[in-house]
Structures are given as C-alpha cells and as structure tokens.
Amino acid sequence: MTVRVWALAAFAVVAACSSGPTQVAAPPNVTPRPDSLDVVIPGFPEMSFLLKKHEANTGSCNSGGNVSPAIEWSHWPAATKSFALLMSDPDGGRGRGSSFHWLVYNIPLATTKLPEGAGVAGATGFTQGRNSAGLEHYRGPCPTAGDKAHHYLIGIYALDLEPGTLPAELDRAALGTAIADHTVAYTSVVLRYAR
C-alpha cells in the first residue's frame, strides 16, 4: 500500500463505534514512534467527552457554543514543513459515512498548537477548508439526540509541503488527494460527544 493510498484511507476511516478508539494504520514507510508525532487535547484524555461549548450552534444544536477545542502537537519528523488537521465523525453522515467538522492546513512549522476557539471564520495563520456543511470554519458536533455517543477523530498530518502551498477552499476529498504523497507522519486522538 502506498503512502498516497494510506492518506486517502485515513480520510475515509469508519469507527468501530462500540468498543474503544478508532485505529488508523500508519503508511508502511512511516514508522509510528513516541518521538515522531504526538497530539493532545489539553484537559481531555483519549475517549473523554467534549463539552456543550464545543457543540454546533446551528440546526437542532442551536444552543451549543461552536467553540473548537484546543489542540497541541509535538515530536514531528525532520522532513516536516507544515501541518494539517482534520476533525471527523466516523459515526456521522446519517449512515453514509464520516462527517467532517474541521479542516485546517497550511499550518506553519513554528505553530505547535491551536488555542481553544481558533476555528472561527476568517481566522489567520492557517487555511480552513470546507467541512461537510460547506463552511470554511469549525462546525461542532451535532449528533442526533438520543444516539449513542459519536466518536470524533482529530488527526494531525505532518507534511513535507511549505505553508501556503495548498490553495484555499479545499474540501476533504481535495485535501486528501493534495496531501496523500506528502504525509511524513500522522497521529490522532479520539474524543466523544452525545446529546
């Protein structure tokens, strides 16, 4: 399997909803190591629940705060020149596959975290792509009320692309294609949310 196929597959991953975190295999030529790439959501251990403030504030979720969580990463490979971030809900899409809540790319190498609330429209210092709702900013979780908890996969991609290489307005398919041959490392964390 090539890195290109792996990176595209990471965009289409579907969670095993009932038992633990979603697993995404690394490409064959990227060996996951503790000193290679790491991501944390400060204050939210793996599989913990997002808060009401992170929920969407549109549609049936009109009382959420739509605040993106803080994200920090470290220990990237030497070949890294920029980062990309993807937040998806493999349980979403009303049974049609993943919903994509936040796409961020052209993140400079010097940026090692995004503070809480960074996903607002018009944010600077990186590019936000089009999520599943067609919006170029963070759109928080909005699982159907009464559903079992949905899993939210937050993935960080270390890329060998200079910041600014990727154009604006990419959706998840276009972003996946654009970074498929340029991903030097990948890691993720899974959080949950239910209403």
CA dist., res. 57 & res. 140, Å (int): 8
Q: What is the DSSP letter of 130?
A: B
Single-letter code of the amino acid located at 140: G
Tell me: pLDDT of 117 over 80.
yes
Quote the pLDDT of residue 39. 95
Sign of the dihedral through C-alpha 32, 4, 82, 123:
negative
Residue range 3-14+36-193 in CATH 3.30.200.20: no
- The domain limits of the chain are 3-14+36-193
Question: Tell me: the pLDDT tens digits for 14-66?
Answer: 333 333 333 444 444 444 444 589 999 999 999 999 999 999 998 888 889 99
Which two tokens mark 63?
């009382």
The pLDDT value recorded for residue 97 is: 61
Q: What's the whole-number average pLDDT of the chain? A: 85
> How is residue 109 written in tokens?
């190498």
Please name every residue paired with 73 in a beta bridge, in sequence order, or none if there are none. 39
pLDDT tens digits for range 149-175:
999 999 999 999 999 999 999 999 999
Residue 127 near residue 168, CB atoms below 8 Å: yes
How far apart (Å, rounded) are the C-alpha atoms in residues 181 and 16?
27
Q: Which residues of 13-43 are buried (b: 16+ CB within 10 A; e: fewer)?
A: bebeeeeebbebebbeebeeeeebbbbbbee
- What's the pLDDT at 77? 94
Report the predicted TM-score, pTM, of the whole model to 2 decimal places: 0.83
